[in-house]
Copies of this chain bind each other. A is one copy, B any other.
Amino acid sequence: MLEKIDLDKKLSKKEFGIVMDELAPRLSFLQRECRASGIPIMVVFEGWGASGKGTLINKLIAPLDPRGFKVFTIQKVSEEEAMRPFLWRFWTRLPAKGRIHIFDRSWYRSMIMEYLEGNKGDVVKGRALEDIIHFEQELSEDGMVIIKFFLHISQKEQKVRFKSLEKNNTTKWRVNKQDWKQNEDYDKYRIVFDDMIAKTDTEYAPWTIIESTNKEYAASKIIATVVERLQEIIETKKLKNDELKKEEVRTIIIPEKAVELPESDNKNLLDTGNKSFQAIEQSLKLDVLSGVDLSNSLDKEKYKKKLIELQNKLAILHYEMYQKRIPVVLAFEGWDAAGKGGAIKRLTENIDPRGYEVVPVAAPNDIERAHHYLWRFWNAIPKAGHLTIFDRTWYGRVLVERIEGFCSENEWKRAYNEINNMEEHLTNFGCIVIKFWLHIDQSEQEKRFLERQQNPQKQWKITEEDWRNREKWDDYVDAVNEMVIRTSTTAAPWIIVEANDKYYARIKVLETVVHALEERMIAEKNQT
Does A122 lie within 8 Å of B91, measured CB to CB?
no
Interface hits, A41-92 → B, CB 8 Å:
80, 82-88, 91-92
- A370 partner, pick from B96, B126, B130, B325, beta carbons under 8 A: B96
Please report A residues at the B interface, Cβ cutoff 8 Å. Answer: 38, 40, 80, 82-88, 91-92, 94, 96-98, 122, 124, 126-127, 130-131, 134, 138-139, 141-142, 144, 246, 250, 254-259, 261, 325, 327, 367, 370-375, 378-379, 381, 383-385, 414, 418, 421, 425-426, 428-429, 431
- A371 to B367: give the CA distance in the assembly, Å: 47
Question: In the complex this chain forms, how many copies of it are found?
Answer: 2
Residues of chain B contacted by A134 (CB below 8 angstroms): 418, 421
Does B84 lie within 8 Å of A425, measured CB to CB?
no
Does B122 lie within 8 Å of A83, measured CB to CB?
no
Does B371 lie within 8 Å of A94, measured CB to CB?
yes
Does A258 lie within 8 Å of B256, measured CB to CB?
yes
Known: A138-B421, A325-B83. A428 touches B127 (CB 8 A): yes
- A429 partner, pick from B40, B85, B98, beta carbons under 8 A: B85
Residues of chain B contacted by A385 (CB below 8 angstroms): 83
- A367 partner, pick from B40, B88, B96, beta carbons under 8 A: B96
Nearest Cβ distance between residue A66 and chain B, in whole angstroms?
A: 19
- A371 to B88: give the CA distance in the assembly, Å: 15
Known: A94-B371, A94-B372, A370-B96. A130 touches B130 (CB 8 A): yes
- A254 partner, pick from B258, B370, B426, beta carbons under 8 A: B258
Nearest Cβ distance between residue A93 and chain B, in whole angstroms?
A: 10
Does B38 lie within 8 Å of A370, measured CB to CB?
yes
Does B255 lie within 8 Å of A85, measured CB to CB?
no
- In the complex, residue of chain B having the shortest beta-carbon distance to the beta carbon of A90: B378
Known: A130-B130, A255-B258, A258-B258. A139 touches B425 (CB 8 A): no
